[in-house]
Amino acid sequence: MSITQRSGKKTASGWALDSSCFHTTVKEMKRQNPVSSTQTPLPVTRHPVTNACYRESKSRPFIIPIFLPHAGCPHQCVFCNQTAITGVRRNIPSPEALRGQINNFLNYKGKQRKTVQVAFYGGNFLGQPKKDIECLLYEANKFITAGKVDSIRFSTRPDTVDNERLDMLNGLPVSTVELGVQSMDDQVLALAKRGHTASDTERAVHRLKKRNYEIGLQLMVGLPGDDEIRSLATGRRVADLSPDFVRIYPTLVLSNSQLAKWYEKGKYIPLSLEAGVAATKKLYLLFAHENIRIIRMGLQISADLEKGTTILAGPYHPAFGHLVFSDIFLDRATSILKSEIIHTDTVSINVHPRSISKMQGLKNRNIEILKRNFHLKSIRIVPDVSLGEDQLALGSHFSLPGLCQSWRKLNE
């Protein structure tokens, strides 16, 4: 973490504390937080919170999701109820409906989003009958030919990725394949009634790599029989496969699922929200360390999910990913404060403007925890555009010699 200190005075600030900071523009911040050319910058140690694995939204494709709940599924896995998650009840849209959905989404594409993908989610894409696969791809391909869409992605089970099905995709503009991996522990997979093994996933990834597809792997934490050791072992085996990106979902008890029955009988106890965040954080850090992008943590919010009758139990939060990031920032700030010699009861933490809420935590939770643990009267969060979104820097109201001492310590 860098103590971003300016000429031995307290860091320019004030406006960092309240929620109005979220809306302060970068230009305003530069104006309010200038570094004078006459100031001699002191050594700065920037502390990465993680490797930056979330990409800027501009560089992410504009996704047009087409949900095909349970299409091609050989059975219902114990945790799954796609109809409940997606709010879509029909299985496969007609060609007209599909075209209508794609056109609808295209109306919302921002000018800055360069790449557009049609994404088939919510089922087992390659498990569908050949004619259905061809029909969906044929309709999506019309938009590609018209120059409105760039490519297609879909999610499928690892055991459907065989050479025969992949040959079917030859010549079609499918760029990305996501695999529902869930776990790399065969016992956990068996308890979830997945019907495939970890070796199936490894084989599928190798086949997809041979054909140069972009590969995304979807994982779950908190499945029956899973624990921290198995979850981290899953993370390591997945990292060894070097996917292009991963998604991490906490297991929720969804209505009309097998897990709901087990939960009602007391046979399955879901993770608490805190434990779900902690388990996801460990996987996030593992993947971030391996420079593997994590594109999602937690389920996408939908009106159906929020209804209250869909999720019976489990670590659901509409801002689940934010909770994970907040925890990571809290851990980092804690470890830096522990390593500091604190001569004051007031400190400033500099973060990139887009990371303010992550540092604060929900309802200022992180700040309250840090204040309590380090006996601080006040902690100011200072927006600092000179920092990366994954960095934080500790500033404090030390006198200059005190600050220099602290820096030397941090730079050792």
Where on the chain is the footprint of ligand SF4 (CB under 6 A)?
70, 73, 76-77, 80, 82, 123-124, 157, 180
Between 72 and 315, name the residue whose CB sits nearer to ligand SF4: 72
Measured from the CB atom, is 80 or 294 closer to ligand SF4?
80
DSSP per position, 193-253: T----HHHHHHHHHHHHHTT-EEEEEEEES-TT--HHHHHHHHHHHHHT--SEEEEEE--E
Going from the C-alpha of 83 to that of each of 50, 87, 90, the distances in angstroms are 35, 5, 9
State in angstroms the smallest separation of the CB of 89 from ligand SF4: 15
Residue number with CB closer to ligand SF4 (257 or 360): 257
Q: What is the dihedral of CA 50, 52, 54, 58, to 10 degrees?
A: 150
| DSSP letters for 90-137 | SSS--HHHHHHHHHHHHTT--TT---EEEEEESS-GGGS-HHHHHHHH
How far apart are CB 121 and ligand SF4 at their closest, in Å? 9
State the first-to-last Cα distance of the chain, in angstroms, to the nearest integer: 13
76 vs 334, beta carbon nearer ligand SF4: 76
DSSP structural state of residue 345 = S
Residue 308 beta carbon to ligand SF4: minimum distance, rounded to whole angstroms? 22
User: How many Å apart are CA 63 and CA 109, to the nearest integer?
Assistant: 9
Are 149 and 98 in contact, with CB atoms under 8 Å apart? no
* Maximum C-alpha span of the chain: 74
d(CA 282, CA 234): 11
- Which residue matches tokens 């489990």? 314
Task: Give min distance, CB of 199 to ligand SF4, in A.
Answer: 17
CB of 155 to ligand SF4, least distance (A): 8
Give 123 or 270: the residue with its C-beta nearer to ligand SF4: 123
Output 82 or 310, the one with its CB closest to ligand SF4.
82
Least spacing, CB of residue 132 vs ligand SF4, in Å: 15
Q: Which is nearer to ligand SF4, 205 or 285 (CB)?
A: 205
Do the Cβ atoms of 118 and 140 come closer than 8 Å?
A: yes
Inter-residue contact 174 to 213 (CB < 8 Å): yes
For ligand SF4, the closer CB: 196 or 380: 196
